Amino acid sequence: MKIVYICSGIIVQNSNEYNNHKSKDMIRKILIANRGEIAIRVMRACYEMGIRSVAVYSEADRTSRHVLYANEAECIGPAPSNESYLCYDKIIEAAKKHKADAIHPGYGFLSENAEFARRCEEEGIIFIGPNPQTMIDMGDKIQARRHMIAAGVPVVPGTQDQLNSAEEAVGVCKAIGFPVMIKASMGGGGKGMRLVHRAEDVVEAYNTCKSEAMSGFGDDTVYIEKFVEGPHHIEFQILGDKHGNVIHLGDRECSVQRRHQKVVEESPSPFVDPELRKKMGAAAVAAAKAVGYVGAGTIEFLVDKYKNFYFLEMNTRLQVEHPITEEVVGIDLVKQQILIADGQPLAIRQEDVVQRGHAIECRICAEDTDNNFRPAPGVVSRLVEPHGPGIRIDSAVYEGYEIPMYYDPMIGKLIVWATTREYAIERMRRALYEYKVAGLVTNIRYLRRIIDVPQFKQGCYDTSFIETNQDRLRPRPGFKNDSEDMAIIAAYIDYLMNYEENKGDGVTENSSALNRWRAFGLQKGVLRV
């Protein structure tokens, strides 16, 4: 019997349906070719679906939570990612050794590596993602533009062919009109990308982009686009199955970013109105159908201040910010990925998708925001996570865990949901206040300041938000947060003293003073009992 749940107008397939109808050909075991919070996220979906999970890990990740959570685990090499998580031969061998039916790549690492997907196919292992050719077509920004133009999806004016020289780049820039963006064709994450306002800066920017593209992606092809002024970074989550069905799951606003790296995301966008949302959603579906997309993916758009929208790129994987879409539409995207990879048709129709309430995500990172956002790896000596209604934390850290220096310094993702945007902001403010990480430097205080900027609270910001609000986002002159750190230290000392007292060693004359520090810690919300 087919069982579905209807929640807020959304058809959600019961995981028991998957379990009860398994055949010998269905996915029974998945290897997760990733680490940290995304690995755990996928494993949780597997657990609920009755699917066994296999973790792979580097020598630096022996004590990682994803290793402990999995049903099975395999070490695949030393700490550097190019010797472990980026070695698809080792990962495929691990999958064969553990008899995994499928591999889920998560995001980052090999998630958009077409050769890895192709090798999985050759070995008879299901790759949970699009087919290799789609990844190639959409990974090449120039080729992606051609596909979008053919599909009638608006694109930013720019080049469609490879540039052959700096002189040619100068001519193109003058023809398009400044400002322009010079971008690496195979780029991403802000690498191989430069904004140019003057003709005399084109040559240097062109050469720099080519150099960064070659070192970062092994391909120095660059192209040029007209810079969209006052842009909003808006993305649409899409799902496509192997039967030609494609739907979108609404929009996300990702305009709070630094150096093209997202910091805070929310859904739905406060800038996009219902009419624009409908047009962009239809364009996102058309874009996915144009390349025969299968799986979960994201169509990213730039929207100017006049609400004209243009195709930016397609991410052929799960996004870091996918939880906010899950919160507002009530659909588990990882489960959908697995069902699609298993050959099942989408059980969700476009008309069933309804965005309800509002969700915000903050990326909690071990980084020094006062020192050019320098990564700050170290040991988590104390961890207090927020709780309560509408709060979700996707994380892999724990007290005593050492955040390695070899990988992304993200501690986790803090997601809140509420019935309105105003309430969601209030909830996020409260959650960030409760979130305590001791032992290393984090960006939590920086995120608190972002939430309190009037532009953010009013929902009237674009991708220049951090740049234009630098003064507001800096700590106040002369302001130090040493008091909280001192309270943590004092509370720990008090714990040790009480420990000795409980052992029968008596009370020292300083214990009363230490207890006063303990009271201070409680008052500041640093110490929780």
DSSP symbols for 1-52:
---EEEETTEEEE-HHHHHHT--TTS--EEEE---HHHHHHHHHHHHHTT-E
**Do 465 and 488 belong to one domain?**
no
The CA distance from 183 to 251, in Å, is 25
Confidence of residue 516 (pLDDT cuts 50, 70, 90): low
Last residue of a domain, one of 211, 226, 241: 226
**Do 212 and 164 belong to one domain?**
yes
Query: With 50 as the cut, is the pLDDT of residue 443 above it?
Result: yes
Q: Among 1-15, 63-77, 290-304, 336-350, which stretch is predicted with the lowest mean pLDDT? A: 1-15
**Do 457 and 502 belong to one domain?**
no
Q: What CATH number is associated with residue 162?
A: 3.30.1490.20
Strands 72-75 and 52-57: parallel
**Do 91 and 194 belong to one domain?**
no
pLDDT tens by residue, 306-315: 999 999 999 9
Going from the C-alpha of 337 to that of each of 128, 129, 395, the distances in angstroms are 7, 7, 21
Confidence of residue 424 (pLDDT cuts 50, 70, 90): very high
Query: With 80 as the cut, is the pLDDT of residue 498 above it?
Result: no
The CA distance from 26 to 18, in Å, is 9
pLDDT score at 389: 96
- Could you tell me if 336 and 342 are in contact, meaning their C-beta atoms sit under 8 angstroms apart? no
The CA distance from 67 to 219, in Å, is 34
Q: Which pair of tokens denotes residue 308?
A: 């004209």
pLDDT score at 521: 53
pLDDT score at 118: 98
Last residue of a domain, one of 85, 111, 128: 128
Confidence of residue 355 (pLDDT cuts 50, 70, 90): very high
Query: With 60 as the cut, is the pLDDT of residue 440 above it?
Result: yes
pLDDT tens by residue, 91-107: 999 999 999 999 999 99
* 168 within a domain of the structure (yes/no): yes
pLDDT tens by residue, 100-143: 999 999 999 999 999 999 999 999 999 999 999 999 999 888 89
pLDDT tens by residue, 44-96: 999 999 999 999 999 999 999 999 999 999 999 999 999 999 999 999 999 99
Confidence of residue 188 (pLDDT cuts 50, 70, 90): low
pLDDT tens by residue, 149-166: 999 999 988 887 888 899
**Do 167 and 189 belong to one domain?**
yes
- Percent residues over pLDDT 70 in the chain: 85
Dihedral sign computed on CA atoms, order 10, 13, 16, 17 = positive
Query: With 70 as the cut, is the pLDDT of residue 515 above it?
Result: no
List Cβ<8 Å contacts ≥24 apart for 12-18: 12/330, 12/331, 12/332, 12/348, 13/335, 13/339, 13/347, 15/48, 15/49, 15/50, 15/335, 18/49, 18/50, 18/339, 18/342
- Could you tell me if 238 and 247 are in contact, meaning their C-beta atoms sit under 8 angstroms apart? yes
**Do 430 and 298 belong to one domain?**
yes
Please compute, for residue 199, the number of CA atoms within 13 A of its CA located in the half-sphere on the CB side: 10
**Do 92 and 178 belong to one domain?**
no
pLDDT score at 486: 55
Confidence of residue 184 (pLDDT cuts 50, 70, 90): confident
Q: Among 24-38, 216-230, 431-445, 508-522, which stretch is predicted with the lowest mean pLDDT? A: 508-522
Helix axes 132-139, 141-151, angle to 10 degrees: 100
pLDDT tens by residue, 448-472: 999 999 999 999 999 999 999 999 9
The CA distance from 472 to 452, in Å, is 9
Mean pLDDT, residues 419-438 taken together: 98
Q: Quick check: is 356 catalytic?
A: no
DSSP for residue 227: P
Q: Which residue has the higher pLDDT, 114 or 15?
A: 114
Closest CA to 449 of 419, 421, 420, 481: 481
Q: How many domains does the chain have?
A: 4
* 136 within a domain of the structure (yes/no): no
pLDDT tens by residue, 224-266: 988 888 999 999 999 999 999 999 999 999 999 998 889 999 9
Confidence of residue 9 (pLDDT cuts 50, 70, 90): very low
Query: Could you say which of 317, 363, 427, 518 is catalytic?
Result: 317
* 222 within a domain of the structure (yes/no): yes
Q: Look up the pTM and report it.
A: 0.82
pLDDT score at 157: 86
**Do 388 and 293 belong to one domain?**
yes
* 143 within a domain of the structure (yes/no): no
pLDDT score at 526: 47
Residue with tokens 């049903």, as numbered in its chain:
71
Query: With 80 as the cut, is the pLDDT of residue 20 above it?
Result: no
Count of C-beta atoms within a 10 Å radius of residue 405? 13
The CA distance from 87 to 94, in Å, is 11
Q: With b meaning 16 or more CB within 10 Å and e meaning fewer, what string describes 437-449?
A: bbbbbbbbebbeb
pLDDT score at 483: 46
Last residue of a domain, one of 178, 194, 226: 226
What would the 3-class secondary structure string for 54-96 be? EEEECHHHCCCHHHHHCCEEEECCCCCHHHCCCCHHHHHHHHH
**Do 369 and 240 belong to one domain?**
yes
Taking every pair of Cα atoms in the chain, the longest distance, rounded to a whole number of angstroms, is: 83
Query: With 80 as the cut, is the pLDDT of residue 283 above it?
Result: yes
- Could you tell me if 377 and 440 are in contact, meaning their C-beta atoms sit under 8 angstroms apart? yes
**Do 29 and 61 belong to one domain?**
yes
Mean pLDDT, residues 13-18 taken together: 48
DSSP for residue 283: H
Helix (H) or strand (E) holding 383: strand 382-384
The CA distance from 211 to 230, in Å, is 28
**Do 202 and 306 belong to one domain?**
no
Mean pLDDT, residues 263-287 taken together: 98
pLDDT tens by residue, 367-406: 999 999 999 999 999 999 999 999 999 999 999 999 999 9
Residues 6 or more apart whose Cβ sits within 8 Å of residue 364:
395, 410, 411, 412, 413, 414, 435, 437, 442, 443, 444, 447
* 364 within a domain of the structure (yes/no): yes
- Percent residues over pLDDT 90 in the chain: 74
* 428 within a domain of the structure (yes/no): yes
Residue with tokens 């790296």, as numbered in its chain:
261
Q: Among 195-209, 414-428, 505-519, which stretch is predicted with the lowest mean pLDDT? A: 505-519
pLDDT score at 490: 59
- DSSP letter string, 123-138: TT-EESS--HHHHHHH
**Do 236 and 188 belong to one domain?**
no
Query: With 70 as the cut, is the pLDDT of residue 482 above it?
Result: no
Query: With 60 as the cut, is the pLDDT of residue 216 above it?
Result: yes
* 149 within a domain of the structure (yes/no): no
* 31 within a domain of the structure (yes/no): yes
The CA distance from 303 to 235, in Å, is 10
Confidence of residue 340 (pLDDT cuts 50, 70, 90): very high
| DSSP 3-state of 398 | coil
- Report helix, strand and coil shares of the chain as percent, to nearest 5: 40, 25, 35
Query: With 80 as the cut, is the pLDDT of residue 189 above it?
Result: no
Domain extent, residue 51, equals 18-128
